[in-house]
Structure formats: structure tokens, C-alpha cells
Amino acid sequence: MAAVQVVRSEWTKIRSVASTVWTLSLALVVTVALGMLISALSNSQYENMPLRERLSFDPTVISFAGMTLGQLAMIVFGVLVVSNEYSTGMIRVSLAAVPQRATFLFGKVAVATALALIVGMVTSFAAFFLGQAMLGSHRAGIGDPGVLRAVFGGGLYMTLIAMFSMGVAAMLRSPMLSLGILMPFFFLISNILGNVDATKKIGRFLPDQAGSRIMQVVPRVGDDTPYGPWTGLGIMALWVIAALAGGYALLKRRDAQ
């Protein structure tokens, strides 16, 4: 099957599954809504903040406060796009129609990534502008130094989270197992490793810890991270490449089941 036909087929699969559409919608709504709420609260509490917090106050990051829950939806989207093939038994039909497994997998990833990128960019820009509206006099402008990079990077970050999840799902095949590993990893293990002094130097190189640097404009007081925003996103991209490569290697070796 030609690559164009594969892409068209994968697009039909994704848009016909309600759960994938809902998770992308949820990513947008939750990220924007929570970002607006935290921005409004931060604006009202600014005068009561300790001096150290004021010095590190980053209006752009505040508007992305909902990104934590938004990335949860992106993880679910990435997992479902790949693992639905196995949970429904469609993988046998898909591989019979597209025996070239690289074409099959990367056609699926390409379509899902394009969707994640569109939703991620819309979410990031909407979260920024609506969040800044809530911050009042403490807001940042899109033309301020580093802000456009951070907002654009927020969309890329959400896209890479989805892609990483696709790679993990391709390796594990099971949606429950994939989510059972990814959820604790991003919402518990990564945060612990990134904030405990004994493991901080290792934790800062994990995909979410490194990638989220792209959304920071104002450096934190005492922050000694040895890389900048784009390098951090590059580290995250390497994790994504490794996950997708692992997914393809296992797909190539295993029988369809």
C-alpha cells in the first residue's frame, strides 16, 4: 500500500474512534481552564508572595499551569492511537493490508503527531493569551523576550509527550500496561527524581523535566540546570526517538497479535 494510502487509512481510523477525539478535546479544555484559574489566583495573591517567589515570578509559566493535566490527556491519546490496534484485534488486518511494518507504524505516528501538533499549538497559544488576561498588570506580552519561544515550545512539548507515549505503547501493546507505566512515571517518579537533591542531576534529564524548560522565561532563583530551553527540548526529542525506535524494533520482530 502506498504511503499516501496508509496516511489516509490511519486518518480514517483515528477520527472514527471517539476516545481519541475526546482526549484531544480534553487536553485543550483542561489546560486552558486550569491555566486561567491559576493565573487569576496568582494575580490576586501576588502582593502576599515572598520576595523569592516574586523574583522568580514567570507569567508565561503561570498560564501553563494546566499543562500537567493537559499532558495526561496527550499521554492517553498517544497510547490509544497505537494500542487500540491490539485491544481490538485490528492489528492483524492492518499488517495484512500494510505488510511493511515501518510504513504502517510511522504512517500512524505521522497522522497522530500532526493532530497532536495542531491541538498542542492551539492549546498553548490559547492558554497563554487567556492566562495573561487573568494576570492583569502582572501579565507578559507575546513580544517580550523569550515569550514567543516559550508559547511555541509549549505546543511542541505537548506533541512530543504524545509521540513518546506512542513509542511506549508500540513496545508494550497493552493500553493498561502502557498507561500503568507512563502515568506514575510522569506524575510521580519524574517529579520525585527531579526535586530530590540526591537525584536531581539525573532527574533533570528525564523527558518531561528537560522538555518543560522550553516554557520557562524567567529563571528560578538558584536554578543551576546545565542546559537551556532548546537543548532541554532536544533532550526530550532524543527520548522520543528512542521510544519510537524501540517500538518499531519490537513490532518488526513480533507476530501480529
**Per-residue confidence (pLDDT) for residue 243, from 0 to 100:** 97
Beta-carbon contacts of 63 under 8 Å, excluding residues fewer than 6 positions away, are 35, 36, 39, 127, 128, 130, 131, 132, 134, 135
pLDDT exceeds 80 at position 3:
no
**Per-residue confidence (pLDDT) for residue 255, from 0 to 100:** 59
pLDDT digits (tens, 9 = 90+) for 74-95: 999 999 999 888 877 778 887 7
pLDDT digits (tens, 9 = 90+) for 22-75: 899 999 999 999 999 999 999 998 888 887 788 788 999 999 999 989 999 999
pLDDT exceeds 60 at position 1:
no
- Average pLDDT of the residues in 101-123: 93
Q: Looking at per-residue confidence, does 53 or 124 come out higher?
A: 124
**Per-residue confidence (pLDDT) for residue 143, from 0 to 100:** 94
Q: Looking at per-residue confidence, does 213 or 86 come out higher?
A: 213
**Per-residue confidence (pLDDT) for residue 49, from 0 to 100:** 82
Alpha carbon distance 237, 231 (integer Å):
10
Give pTM, 2 decimals.
Answer: 0.92
pLDDT exceeds 90 at position 186:
yes
> What mean pLDDT value characterizes the chain?
90
- Average pLDDT of the residues in 218-226: 82
CB distance 151 to 124 below 8 Å = yes
Grid cell listed for 160: 512530543
Work out the angle at residue 228's Cα, subtended by the Cα atoms of residues 132 and 209, and round it to the nearest 5 degrees. 75
User: Minimum mean pLDDT among 102-111, 159-168, 248-257: which range?
Assistant: 248-257
**Per-residue confidence (pLDDT) for residue 257, from 0 to 100:** 52
**Per-residue confidence (pLDDT) for residue 254, from 0 to 100:** 72
**Per-residue confidence (pLDDT) for residue 232, from 0 to 100:** 96
Q: Per mean pLDDT, which of 132-141, 151-160, 192-201 is the most reliable?
A: 151-160
